[in-house]
Amino acid sequence: MTFDDRLKNVSIVGAAGKMGSGIALLLAQEMVTQKLKPENKNQIYRLHLIDVNESALDGLQSYLKSQLVKAGEKVTGMLRELYKEHADLIENYDVIDAFVNDAMSVLRLGTDLGAVKDSKIIFEAVLEDKDLKVSLLKNMEKMVSPDTVYFTNTSSIPISVLNKDANLGGRIIGFHFYNPPAVQRLVELISPESTKPELKDMALEMAKRLRKKIVPSNDIAGFIGNGHFLRDGLYAIREAKKLAGEYTLPGALYAMNKVSQDLLVRPMGILQLIDYVGVDVYQCISVTISGYLQGEDLKDDLLAKMTQKKVLGGQFADGSQKNGFLKYEKNRPVGIYDADKGEYKMFDPNGWSGEIDKKLGAYPQGFYPWRSLLMDPKKGEKLSAFFKNLNASDTPGAKLAKGYLKNSKSIGEFLVKTGVAKSAQDVNDILLNGFYHLYGPINDYV
């Protein structure tokens, strides 16, 4: 069976979630593009979007329709070529409407897992829970044909474990999209020895069709991305605890978030990033990876406390940020959570947060915010000059930043040394493409 044949019937399980909805948008576009080719005009394409949350499926349908309109507006030239035999489609909006309607006709939304029965490719994008994933995979195996393959979006559970526990015979591969899937170019590909070689070829073709950059990771819990992200965030939390006597814990968390964003020249502070992913998701990653890796402490009581108190971060349906480590107004941080008091301590530039800013000290010469360097052709030169000045600085903020940079580099080198990543370049590629960093953690800046 060819890849194009498989693409005629695809399912996404967990389709209404943050990751599943983005995967659905990507696949809907590719499948309708194939459907509109003259040689496929009599072919039937089906994308089954399955989720236990029926109301969320209603939201998914609205989301896909609006996003397909935006996607169509960006490729009107290509669409005009696909619809060139339709003389009645005169204006661009006529072509876009036809594209959206054709794409929506491919979709079948529902809560019945049995809809997967005729699919030859199934994307699994449910919660990061091994027992849940294995149970689903086992149930689907009873319904599908023996040649059906699974693409799992797991970000931390070893693929070999899912393969063995669900008895899939090597028909599963790790295809880890980065959030949001419709925007992020990166896919982390995890193919253990148990994975059938033809499935890896299929995954590479899928990445090509969806215009994704593949970075391979070995099948070790957490892989490259979360292997670095988890340890990077835990470092910040643990450093904050060390500084709590001097800054208070909320103040120290504020300082570490500020340093990790500004002096490391990142798109957001580490605590803001944890909030974006979800404190509960981050805690789940921590527990999951800890269950497979021995001899390393990858759990934290503050994460557990916040999860228990339902201070979870994540996003609302409209994409706005929920409160987590930080409190947000119009998606901008305005306060920091005090876990002991169970309330937020609002930033006060003329009070406590202003005093911490002064204590951290002036930024080294050559500092530029991440956004101003993102598209700068001279960003490499500017970063080198800035980090040279940072290394020469002895302000409290500079010392915290240098310690953070060294630890981030050590994490990256550890991932290579322990065989999670094949090379330093793979580690750097994950952070550059999946986290939008301007430089990789394995560098010469420190």
DSSP 176: E
- Rounded CA gap, 221 and 288, in Å? 8
Instruction: Kindly tell me if the per-residue pLDDT of 371 is higher than 90.
Output: yes
Instruction: Give the pLDDT of residue 443.
Output: 97
CB neighbour list of residue 242: distance below 8 Å, 6 or more residues apart: 252
Confidence (pTM): 0.94
Instruction: Give the pLDDT of residue 93.
Output: 87
Among 23-32, 74-83, 99-108, whose mean pLDDT is lowest? 74-83
Cβ-in-10-Å burial (0-12, 13-18, 19+) of 213 comes to middle
Residue 181 lies inside a defined structural domain of this protein: yes
Q: What percent of the chain has pLDDT over 90?
A: 91
Based on the domain organization, do 390 and 358 belong to the same domain? yes
Residue 445 lies inside a defined structural domain of this protein: no
- Rounded CA gap, 289 and 278, in Å? 16
Instruction: Kindly tell me if the per-residue pLDDT of 113 is higher than 80.
Output: yes
Instruction: Give the pLDDT of residue 316.
Output: 87
Instruction: Give the pLDDT of residue 317.
Output: 76
Closest CA to 19 of 274, 246, 315: 315
Looking up residue 86, the CATH number of its domain turns out to be 3.40.50.720
Confidence of residue 358 (pLDDT cuts 50, 70, 90): very high
Based on the domain organization, do 109 and 81 belong to the same domain? yes
Alpha-helical (H) ranges within 248-375 are 249-262, 270-277, 279-292, 301-308, 352-360, 370-373
Distances from the Cα of 329 to the Cα of 142, 321, 322, angstroms: 48, 9, 9
Confidence of residue 85 (pLDDT cuts 50, 70, 90): confident
DSSP 244: H
Dmax (CA) of the chain: 74
Q: Are 162 and 133 in contact (CB under 8 A)?
A: yes
Instruction: Give the pLDDT of residue 90.
Output: 79
**How much is the average pLDDT of 230-234?**
98
Residue 140 lies inside a defined structural domain of this protein: yes
**How many domains, the chain?**
2
Instruction: Give the pLDDT of residue 121.
Output: 98
Closest CA to 235 of 272, 260, 258, 263: 260
Residue at token pair 């006597």: 245
CB neighbour list of residue 10: distance below 8 Å, 6 or more residues apart: 27, 31, 46, 47, 48, 119, 120, 121, 122, 123
Domain's final residue, options 154, 185, 217: 217
Tens digits of residue pLDDT in 260-272: 999 999 999 999 9
Question: C-alpha angle with apex 89: 85 to 93, nearest 5 degrees?
Answer: 135
Domain's final residue, options 181, 197, 217: 217
Instruction: Give the pLDDT of residue 266.
Output: 98
Looking up residue 269, the CATH number of its domain turns out to be 1.10.1040
DSSP 377: T
Tens digits of residue pLDDT in 189-222: 999 999 999 999 999 999 999 999 999 999 999 9
Based on the domain organization, do 17 and 97 belong to the same domain? yes
Strand pairing partners for 109? 49
Tens digits of residue pLDDT in 295-343: 999 999 999 999 999 999 999 878 899 999 999 999 999 999 999 999 9
Residue 441 lies inside a defined structural domain of this protein: no
Based on the domain organization, do 194 and 115 belong to the same domain? yes
The edge-to-edge listing of strands for the beta sheet with 343-346 is: 326-329, 332-338, 343-346
Instruction: Give the pLDDT of residue 145.
Output: 97
Tokens found for residue 121: 């490719």
Confidence of residue 87 (pLDDT cuts 50, 70, 90): confident
Instruction: Kindly tell me if the per-residue pLDDT of 34 is higher than 90.
Output: yes
Based on the domain organization, do 231 and 209 belong to the same domain? no
Based on the domain organization, do 128 and 171 belong to the same domain? yes
Based on the domain organization, do 321 and 408 belong to the same domain? yes
Peptide bond into 180 cis (omega under 30): yes
Residue 444 lies inside a defined structural domain of this protein: no
Instruction: Give the pLDDT of residue 10.
Output: 98
Instruction: Give the pLDDT of residue 194.
Output: 94
Based on the domain organization, do 170 and 269 belong to the same domain? no
Residue 146 lies inside a defined structural domain of this protein: yes
In the chain, the amino acid numbered 215 is: V
Please give the residue range of the domain that contains residue 292.
225-434
**How much is the average pLDDT of 118-130?**
96
CB neighbour list of residue 67: distance below 8 Å, 6 or more residues apart: 25, 182
Closest CA to 6 of 138, 164, 193, 145: 145
In the chain, the amino acid numbered 388 is: K
Q: What is the rounded average pLDDT for all residues in the chain? A: 96
Residue 193 lies inside a defined structural domain of this protein: yes
- Rounded CA gap, 155 and 285, in Å? 8
Distances from the Cα of 416 to the Cα of 210, 299, 428, angstroms: 28, 22, 11
Domain's final residue, options 217, 242, 267: 217
Alpha-helical (H) ranges within 36-158 are 54-74, 76-82, 92-106, 130-141
Based on the domain organization, do 126 and 230 belong to the same domain? no
Based on the domain organization, do 140 and 26 belong to the same domain? yes
Cβ-in-10-Å burial (0-12, 13-18, 19+) of 69 comes to middle
Tens digits of residue pLDDT in 44-67: 999 999 999 999 999 999 999 999
Residue 440 lies inside a defined structural domain of this protein: no
Residue at token pair 């995890």: 190
In the chain, the amino acid numbered 178 is: Y
Helix (H), strand (E) at residue 398: helix 396-417
Based on the domain organization, do 189 and 162 belong to the same domain? yes
Closest CA to 207 of 224, 226, 230, 184: 184
Based on the domain organization, do 303 and 319 belong to the same domain? yes
